[in-house]
Amino acid sequence: MNLSYLDLSTTDPAYNLAAEQYVFDVLPRDRAYFMLWQNDRAIIIGKYQNTLSEINEPYVQSHGIRVVRRLSGGGAVYHDLGNLNFTFITDSDQKRLDFRRFCLPVIRTLHTLGVEAELTGRNDITIQGQKISGNSQYLKGGRVMHHGTILFDSDLHVVAEALRVDEEKIRSKGIKSVRSRVTNVRPHLPHDVSLAEFRQMLLETILAETPGEAYTLTPEDTAAIEALRAERYATWAWNYGKSPACTICKRRRIEGCGTVEAYLDVKGGVIAALSFRGDFFSTDDPSLLAARFLGLRPNRAAYAEALRDVDVARYFTGATAQELLALLA
């Protein structure tokens, strides 16, 4: 498949995420796309997350940090101009999330610079056990969008202050603070290079493996992206929304999956509404699974029956029916 690449110059997070969706939804599917882009002081929230529980809102507001929700699952990440973002969009017949395929070109680029990076955990690229890249994917209609961050020379103090990190997640990894979990690429380089030089090297690695040409957005493309930005990615409704109304809230961290929260509204002794939130990934929307519970009594036997013959991992990657049952019951 031919490759087209877009080197976005704007640092507006709402525009850049709208551009990703536009490329995914609208541009011709006879080719793959690779995008490089940067955001200035932004927190990018996973599709299924409850925004206010993930950020340090007073700090975010006082420091002018934008908050934008993306299409894919996973956890919140901080972007600034010391961070480089990359996106692959291509056809895919995968039924499960496959991060290795798209992370390896980044790892190979780092190796050419003398940095021993590796893919670890669900979706991280690390150097000596410290995270420099988080990755996420969105699957729809036989197409995959993979996007990732690269902490090259970011302000790690702001990362620690802006994100309200799940203490259970930190304890489960046996690490004391968020600052000890992340690092920048630049201090690990045997010979210093600038972010602009690294950006060009990554693009050259991609083009060496899959030759392609630049795609220039037309005025029509740009107008459509601006419209999508205004309608979705620049709105409070998309980026914050309202926390689910509920009478019961249950929360559990599932190893290999992430944190899953279940918000249940019980009326007349049966489940009237169920919503899932968290930093998990999924190949199918969890709302489809939630619909199976409506009208049921909130007890273990009813939950077990609703999950009978269900491939739970399609809704919560890495989780089993028993683990979801342990959350709900």
Domain definitions of the chain by residue range = 2-239, 248-328
What CA–CA distance (Å, rounded) separates 62 from 81? 19
User: Which pTM value belongs to this model?
Assistant: 0.84
Topology (CATH level 3) of domain 248-328: Enolase-like; domain 1 (3.30.390)
Judge contact between 132 and 120, C-beta under 8 A. Answer: no
Selected from 1.10.238.10, 3.40.30.10, 3.30.930.10, 1.10.540.10, the CATH number assigned to the domain covering 2-239 reads 3.30.930.10
Between the alpha carbon of residue 118 and those of residues 105, 108, 115, the distances in Å are 11, 9, 10
The answer, yes or no, to whether residue 325 has pLDDT greater than 50, is yes
The pLDDT value recorded for residue 168 is: 61
Residue 278, number of CB atoms within 10 A of its CB: 28
pLDDT interval class at 303 (50, 70, 90): very high
Q: Give the residue-averaged pLDDT of 53-72.
A: 92
* 271, pLDDT greater than 80: yes
As given in the structure block, the two tokens for residue 72 are 């894919």
Q: How confident is the model at residue 147 (pLDDT cuts 50, 70, 90)?
A: very high
CB 142 within 8 A of CB 89: no
Pairing of strands 143-151, 212-214: unpaired
In the numeric block, the tokens 């690695």 are attached to 205
Distance in angstroms (rounded) separating the CA atoms of residues 143 and 145:
7
